[in-house]
Amino acid sequence: MPRIRDELRALDTSARALRRFGMTVGTALLLLGVLFLWRHRLAGWPLAILGVVLLLVAVIAPTRLTAVHRVWMTLAIAMGWVMTNVILTIVFFLVLTPLGLLQRLFAKPSLDLAFKAGESSYWATRSAEGRSLADYEKQY
């Protein structure tokens, strides 16, 4: 969690950044509120009102949004940290672990790491067949 604290200390709390935050979040909440009002009638009023309030404060006095910005960014950074770890864990256990188990099950080595008896070096010699000078000009 020290990384989260460092990110919170480095937050840009200038009037311009706070205005941009208020306008962005206010617009998003207003649009969500209007969408909910259109779909579900009364359920969107709180979001629409909150969006309008954020927009007004962002235009009139953006520095008043410092606390809201700090709370919002704390939640966003914490959620990002948690979701990153959850997603990486899921990918590891649902994708990489089964692939590794299947490779071991079918005894398919992905790297030729075994030292061959009678060999004096690990160097792998390649045949010159199928290679031309043009292959060396555009290697990638």
* Cα–Cα–Cα angle for 99, 104, 110, rounded to 5 degrees: 75
Question: For residue range 19-50, what is the model confidence (pLDDT) as tens digits?
Answer: 999 999 999 999 999 998 888 777 788 999 99
Phi-psi region of 107 (alpha: psi -120 to 50; beta: other; left: phi over 0): left
Q: How confident is the model at residue 54 (pLDDT cuts 50, 70, 90)?
A: very high
Return the ∠ at Cα 12 (arms to 70 and 63), rounded to 5°. 65
Radius of gyration, alpha carbons of the chain: 28
Domain locations in the chain as residue ranges: 2-108
- Helix (H, G, I), strand (E, B), or coil: what is residue 112? coil
The pLDDT, as a whole number, for residue 2 is 65
For residue range 99-128, list pLDDT tens digits in order: 888 888 887 777 777 777 877 887 877 777
